[in-house]
């Protein structure tokens, strides 16, 4: 099984046409659900019992952000949701990420970058982690409140979708579905995104990571440096994906028969679980520091 620990700036990891991207997913439903299942099992004994027992609700909600991108009569949701799923690092030249998304919007304006091309995934991660932190703080104050418990599970599920996307290398690059090499005008390996999306669900049960050997990312007080480092690592894995592009199983094919592809799939899964469990644990621990305002009283 994949092992090793690398220290980043702020956390520890166990591993290391714009409309067309709007409808690309990051892992299929089964992949996102698998990430949740392994993350929750990894956190057993470290999180509240209701949370671990709510694995089904969390896994259910982990699929929803891709559903948010489906066409409905009003396209506003599609256009606002789609950039939340990726961050194409080739378009961003800053050494650090701006503190909040509005500062990032200003950066895009000042540097003449199209927001839809760069994406906003880092703030999807930090903002949903913040929402989960506040929900956990409410749970600490009202531990028997079933509505608060349900809210924690929903927020955790939505967060898990974006952590899964962050671990999908093609969600961290402008080369999200094919690459044009220098001196060429033709895009090579178009369709790689859908093949990679389907990869995690093709890992057989006996080749999924052993829970005891999975790591949990430990974040510092500020999330963004660690999130940025994780996304930079995802971007660094893009070349590996394209090197194995011809060996990726076709969508109808159920099995991974190539050993190198299997190793890559296992690595992506381990990274996704490390990030997901790390942000869950961060939110739970950070909730001890939250002081809810005096006016905040729950009737329901």
Quickly list DSSP for 40-56.
Answer: HHHTTTTS-HHHHHTHH
Lowest mean pLDDT among 3-7, 142-146, 193-197: 3-7
Question: Residue 101 corresponds to which tokens in the numbers above?
Answer: 């998304």
Say how far apart CA 159 and CA 162 lie, in whole Å: 5
Residue 207: pLDDT over 80: yes
**What are the backbone angles phi and psi of residue 13, rounded to the nearest 5°?**
-120, 150
- pLDDT at res. 28: 80
Tally helices (H) and strands (E) across the chain: 13, 5
Alpha helices in 20-145 (DSSP H): 29-42, 49-53, 55-61, 64-67, 76-81, 101-110, 115-118, 121-141
Q: Could you tell me if 220 and 213 are in contact, meaning their C-beta atoms sit under 8 angstroms apart? A: no
Contact 60, 79 (CB under 8 A): no
The residue-averaged pLDDT of 60-87 equals: 92
Name the more confident of 286 and 15. Answer: 286
Distances, alpha carbon 140 to alpha carbons 2, 48, 102, 114, 132, in Å:
36, 10, 31, 42, 12
Query: What is the mean pLDDT of the segment spanning 123-136?
Result: 98
pLDDT beyond 60 at 21:
no
* Contact (CB, 8 A) for 159 and 129: yes
Q: What is the pLDDT of residue 234?
A: 98
pLDDT over 60 at 16, yes or no = no
Which numeric CATH code is attached to 6-180+225-289?
Answer: 1.10.575
The ranges assigned to domains in the chain are 6-180+225-289
Q: Give 56's contacts (C-beta < 8 A, 6+ positions apart).
A: none
Q: Of 280, 284, 283, 262, which Cα lies nearest the Cα of 272?
A: 280
What pLDDT, on the 0 to 100 scale, is given for residue 114? Answer: 95
- Tens digits of residue pLDDT in 236-285: 999 999 999 999 999 889 899 999 999 999 999 999 999 999 999 999 99
Mean pLDDT of the chain: 90
User: Using only C-alpha atoms, what is the Rg of the chain?
Assistant: 19
Q: Is the pLDDT of residue 14 over 50?
A: no
Give the residue from 187, 188, 136 showing the smallest Cα distance to 159. 136
Whole-number Cα distances in Å, 69 to 81, 121, 138, 186, 244? 6, 14, 30, 28, 29
Whether 5 has a pLDDT exceeding 50, the answer reads no
pLDDT in tens, 147-169: 999 999 999 999 999 999 999 99
Over residues 80-92, mean pLDDT: 96
Distances (CA, A) of 149 to 35, 134, 165, 229: 21, 12, 25, 31
pLDDT per residue as tens digits for the range 53-64: 999 999 999 999
Burial class of residue 39 in the structure, from the number of CB atoms within 10 Å of its CB (0-12 exposed, 13-18 middle, 19+ buried) = buried
Determine which helix (DSSP H) or strand (DSSP E) holds 114, and give its type and residue range: none
pTM: 0.90
């Amino acid at each position: 099984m994949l092992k090793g620990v690398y220290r980043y700036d702020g956390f520890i990891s166990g591993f290391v046409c714009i409309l067309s991207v709007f409808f690309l997913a990051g892992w299929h439903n089964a992949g996102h659900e698998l990430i949740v299942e392994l993350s929750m099992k990894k956190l057993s004994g470290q999180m509240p019992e209701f949370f671990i027992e709510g694995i089904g609700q969390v896994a259910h909600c982990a699929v929803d952000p891709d559903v948010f991108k489906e066409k409905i009569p009003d396209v506003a949701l599609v256009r606002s949701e789609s950039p939340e799923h990726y961050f194409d690092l080739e378009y961003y030249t800053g050494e650090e990420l701006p503190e909040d998304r509005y500062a990032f919007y200003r950066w895009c304006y000042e540097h003449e970058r199209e927001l839809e091309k760069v994406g906003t995934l880092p703030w999807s991660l930090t903002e949903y982690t913040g929402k989960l932190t506040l929900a956990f703080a409410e749970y600490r104050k009202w531990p028997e409140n079933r509505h608060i418990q349900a809210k924690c599970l929903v927020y955790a599920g939505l967060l898990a979708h974006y952590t899964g996307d962050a671990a999908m290398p093609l969600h961290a690059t402008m080369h999200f579905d094919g690459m044009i090499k220098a001196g060429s005008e033709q895009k090579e390996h178009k369709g790689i995104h859908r093949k990679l999306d389907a990869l995690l669900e093709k890992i057989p049960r006996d080749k999924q990571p052993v829970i005891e050997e999975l790591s949990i990312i430990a974040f510092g007080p500020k999330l963004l440096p660690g999130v940025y480092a994780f996304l930079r690592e995802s971007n660094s894995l893009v070349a590996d994906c394209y090197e194995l592009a011809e060996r990726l199983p076709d969508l109808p094919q159920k099995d991974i028969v190539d050993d190198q592809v299997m190793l890559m799939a296992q690595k992506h899964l381990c990274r996704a679980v490390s990030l997901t469990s790390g942000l869950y644990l961060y939110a739970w621990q950070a909730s001890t520091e939250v002081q809810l305002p005096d006016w905040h009283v729950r009737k329901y």
